[in-house]
Structure 1
């Protein structure tokens, strides 16, 4: 059943704001982005936008969360990640260069201790490596991956490869096949079993 009324309108407006913010942040980066311009692009006043997102940082972090959650399974109560999910996300990223550009630039900026995104990226990487480590441990128990490989090392290498491939793809999209190259790495890891 389709939701109606003020709640549904509010959800739809938040989606419009997030779409406008994604494009704006991708073009301008965080520091040069303007809440006033994002509001205008979403068809709102600045006060109207701030009704949905109280700060620029809150809006930006929601855009980043949306990137991570867009492939989540709505049937799951907890967002679970696996190596297969990581590869699927990389396949999906090919269709969203603006989001990839935003993610790459903001993850690089997050190394600055004063960055508003630092804690987001620290938490995200801790969570992602932990999820991948758990998947790798399951696969080791099933005999798919050598028990001699350290699950933390493999998880970290897979994340590093996925993130590094995004940067290479942004620079040379006609020469870098992100999903295929990540699959090649995963196949090499599994052949070690």
Structure 2
């Protein structure tokens, strides 16, 4: 099909509508959880019909996974700025906590849906299973590199440290939400990592 100015405007409008749906879905999933949110409510918030929403996302599961993927794409793009390894990668994780402190909606979405997804029949169960496995593996690699660089304190096991750090990051997000965003997530993470290193973070 020949691309015309009208086609381009149509594509741009479609992308804008899709982005709006993802934004509204992210907010509602964070407020009500996956099970408590409805596609009709999301469509109403977007000012479109239920069939109009289904044109972009045929199922609620497809919409949830698209929202989660969008969150990961943003974070992955940010984490990939500059090649990091070892201590630099651990430092970048504390920077990510600072970034999240400006994105309550995303933190809320992740915390609520991650808790729901512990159930094997939840549509995001496989997503979170893969995400945690990958996050722990990447963090363990950073700790191993820090050890190879002589920056890790003796007795610190990279595999255990990686699990601890990912668990701390997620737990801090819940404390941050409950404390009405007053918990300093990044500083708590820095203090934890500093205690494991022989160099400045």
Sort the TM-score into its range (normalised by shorter chain). Answer: 0.7 to 0.9
**How much has 1:175 moved relative to structure 2?**
4.9
- Structure 1 position 65 matched with structure 2 position 72: no
Two-structure CA RMSD over aligned residues (Å)? 2.6
Partner of 1:145: 152
Q: Distance in 1 between matches of 2:155 and 2:79?
A: 35
Matched, 1:182 2:182: no
Structure 1 position 110 matched with structure 2 position 114: no
Q: Name 2:31's counterpart in structure 1.
A: 27
For residues 97-156 of structure 1, give each alpha carbon's deviation from its aligned partner in whole angstroms, at most 9, with x where no partner exists: 222122112111111122122111100001111111122222221122146432211111
Instruction: State how far apart, in whole Å, the 2-side matches of 1:59 and 1:176 are.
Output: 31
**How many residues in Structure 1 have an aligned counterpart in Structure 2?**
189
The answer to which structure, 1 or 2, has the higher relative contact order (CA under 8 A, 6+ apart) is 2
- Native 8 Å contact 1:146 1:192 kept in 2: no
Note closer, same or farther for the CA distance 1:143–1:6 as it changes in structure 2 (3 Å cut).
farther
- Partner of 1:113, secondary structure, is coil
Residue of structure 1 in register with 2:17 after alignment: 13
List 4+ stretches of structure 1 deviating above 4 A: none
- In structure 2, stretches of 5+ residues that fail to align are 1-7
1:86 equivalent in alignment to 2:90: no
Q: Secondary structure at the match of 1:153?
A: helix
1:50 matched residue in structure 2:
54
- Could you tell me which residue of structure 1 aligns to residue 170 of structure 2? 163
What TM-score do the two structures reach when normalised by structure 2?
0.83
Structure 1 portions without partners, runs of 5+:
none
In structure 2, relative to structure 1, the CA distance for the partners of 1:147 and 1:137 (3 Å cut) is farther
* Bigger mean CA offset, 49-58 vs 67-76: 67-76
Query: In terms of mean alpha carbon deviation, does 60-69 or 36-45 score higher?
Result: 60-69
Between structure 1 and structure 2, the one with the greater Rg is: 2
Deviations along 1:57-116, one digit per CA (max 9) or x if unpaired, are 11112222222332333795xxx9932332222111111222212211211111112212
